[in-house]
């Protein structure tokens, strides 16, 4: 879980920079730079945080059973992290154009590019929510997409993992609501009623991200993303094989069962 600390630091630093720009704008409302700083920073800052959700969910599928998942754990990272990086680049490019523009047309162009990045990220988030919802439905109803094997088996969904899953759902809900708000905000234009109403920004952006960060800190995956002790009866049965009367064949069977047991134990850890 080493990646959590730098990710949260990066996202939180971006939020602080954005809110600093917003405070600066309050004292100097005619200055354009602090206004653009707070717009760009508060839009970009949560992007690394979203990437953490993708990685954590892939870890959950590894623990509960990958045969319920439509994608392999590796593909969750490859697809959704790539999409997150693309959204970050597009939003950053649009923000750079908007910040450096000298005309209203240039600022609007940057805003439209940023809007495209936010919409792309929102679509990726909707796809992720759909796939993860299907995963939990299949796990709860025990309807796997593939047959389990020695490397992928159903594990018990214990209390700690259930609490952590609920925390992730809450965080995902907050970020989803925030993404909808930011999409509507930029689609409404730089001078629209949404972007010029402070209470909307405080509630749908500031408070949402703050609650998401505190939730992840309180329900830290290092403490809560844990599985209950597994019953070793299946593992022992793998290792206890009936004798065939042929020493060479008995040794071969025992060797294979030990290899499978070691692989299953490695996955459980």
Give 73-122 as a 3 state SS string: HHHHHHHHHHHHHHHHHHHHHHHHHHHHCCCHHHHHHHHHHHHHHHHHHH
Which pLDDT score, from 0 to 100, does residue 51 have? 86
pLDDT (tens digit per residue) in 6-57: 888 888 899 999 999 989 988 888 887 887 788 888 888 888 888 889 889 9
**Is residue 171 over pLDDT 90?**
yes
**Model confidence at 90, in pLDDT bands (50, 70, 90)?**
very high
**What is the model's pTM?**
0.78
Q: Which of residues 50 and 234 earns the better pLDDT score?
A: 50
Alpha-carbon distance 178 to 208, whole Å?
A: 7
**Is residue 231 over pLDDT 90?**
no
**Is residue 233 over pLDDT 60?**
no
**Is residue 238 over pLDDT 70?**
no
């Amino acid at each position: 879980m080493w990646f959590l600390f730098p990710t949260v630091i990066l996202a939180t630093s971006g939020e602080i920079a954005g809110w600093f720009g917003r405070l600066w704008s309050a004292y100097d409302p005619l200055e354009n730079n602090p206004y653009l700083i707070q717009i760009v920073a508060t839009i970009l800052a949560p992007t690394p945080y979203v990437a953490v959700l993708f990685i954590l969910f892939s870890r959950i599928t590894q623990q509960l059973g990958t045969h319920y998942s439509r994608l392999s754990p590796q593909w969750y990272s490859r697809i959704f992290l790539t999409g997150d990086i693309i959204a970050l680049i597009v939003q950053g490019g649009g923000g750079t154009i908007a910040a450096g523009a000298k005309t209203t047309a240039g600022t609007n162009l940057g805003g439209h590019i940023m809007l495209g990045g936010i919409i792309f990220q929102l679509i990726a988030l909707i796809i992720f929510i759909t796939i993860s919802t299907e995963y939990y439905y299949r796990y709860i109803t025990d309807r796997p997409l593939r047959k389990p094997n020695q490397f992928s088996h159903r594990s018990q969904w214990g209390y700690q993992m259930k609490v952590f899953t609920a925390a992730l759902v809450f965080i995902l809900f907050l970020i989803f609501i925030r993404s909808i708000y930011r999409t509507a905000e930029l689609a409404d234009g730089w001078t629209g009623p949404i972007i010029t109403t402070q209470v909307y920004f405080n509630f749908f952006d500031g408070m949402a991200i703050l609650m998401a960060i505190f939730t992840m800190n309180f329900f830290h995956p290092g403490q809560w993303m844990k599985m209950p002790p597994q019953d070793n009866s299946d593992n022992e049965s793998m290792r206890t094989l009936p004798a065939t009367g042929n020493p060479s064949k008995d040794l071969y069977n025992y060797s294979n069962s030990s290899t499978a047991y070691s692989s299953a134990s490695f996955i459980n850890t």
